[in-house]
């Protein structure tokens, strides 16, 4: 069961690893990213942030979609972390059971505007979020579980 998909440019780090996994009661974290599986430095860093007692799986976006669609992940309470809105969009389009996306950390990049403390979004990303919301996906902004939940569209 997918508990949450989170967009965070840092992927797995202390804040995500501990506050979110405990709050969601997850037993598996899936890092869905096209760079990390072949980037040993990033992979090692992510493994260091893994909380004890939680399984960590690192797959490309396509391999993540395949795993989700195959049912092999159904036995887990799954927390999926992606690096970008585009990656979250790909997952949500391919896997209709994804109905909740958290925007947690999106760094300043060329062409972005700041819409929240830690969220900087491009016009293209904003369009993807709007499309997901129109299709019934709950897209929210929150850094940690105790923060007030803000609907992404309310921040635009």
Calculate the dihedral angle through the C-alpha atoms of 25, 119, 94, 80, rounding to the nearest 10 degrees: -20
C-beta separation of 93 from 136 below 8 A? no
d(CA 78, CA 115): 28
Q: Above pLDDT 70, what percent of the chain?
A: 99
Q: Give pLDDT, residue 4.
A: 97
Residues 16-31: pLDDT tens digits? 788 999 999 999 999 9
Residues 74-110: pLDDT tens digits? 999 999 999 999 999 999 999 999 999 999 999 999 9
- Residue 13 appears among annotated catalytic residues: yes
Record the tokens describing residue 102, joined without a space.
Answer: 């958290």
Record the tokens describing residue 16, joined without a space.
Answer: 């995500």
Domains of the chain: 2-155 (3.40.35.10)
The pTM assigned to this predicted structure is 0.96
Instruction: Determine the average pLDDT of the residues in 64-78.
Output: 97
Phi (first) and psi of residue 154, to 5 degrees? -70, -20
Residues 42-54: pLDDT tens digits? 999 999 999 999 9
Q: Give pLDDT, residue 14.
A: 81
Helices and strands counted in the chain (H then E): 7, 9
Of the candidates 10, 13, 77, 100, the residue annotated as catalytic is 13
């Amino acid at each position: 069961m997918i508990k949450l998909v989170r967009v965070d440019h840092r992927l797995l780090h202390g804040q995500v690893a501990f506050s979110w996994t405990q709050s969601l009661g997850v037993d598996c974290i899936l890092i869905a990213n096209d760079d990390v599986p072949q980037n040993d430095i990033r992979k090692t860093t992510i493994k260091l942030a893994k909380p004890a007692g939680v399984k960590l799986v690192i797959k490309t976006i396509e391999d993540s979609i395949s795993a989700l669609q195959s049912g092999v992940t159904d036995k887990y309470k799954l927390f999926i972390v992606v690096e970008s809105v585009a990656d979250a969009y790909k997952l949500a389009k391919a896997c209709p059971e994804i109905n909740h996306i958290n925007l947690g950390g999106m760094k300043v990049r060329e062409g972005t505007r700041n819409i929240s403390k830690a969220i900087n979004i491009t016009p293209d990303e904003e369009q993807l979020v709007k499309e997901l919301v129109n299709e019934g996906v709950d897209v929210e902004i929150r850094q940690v579980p105790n923060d007030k939940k803000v609907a992404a569209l309310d921040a635009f």
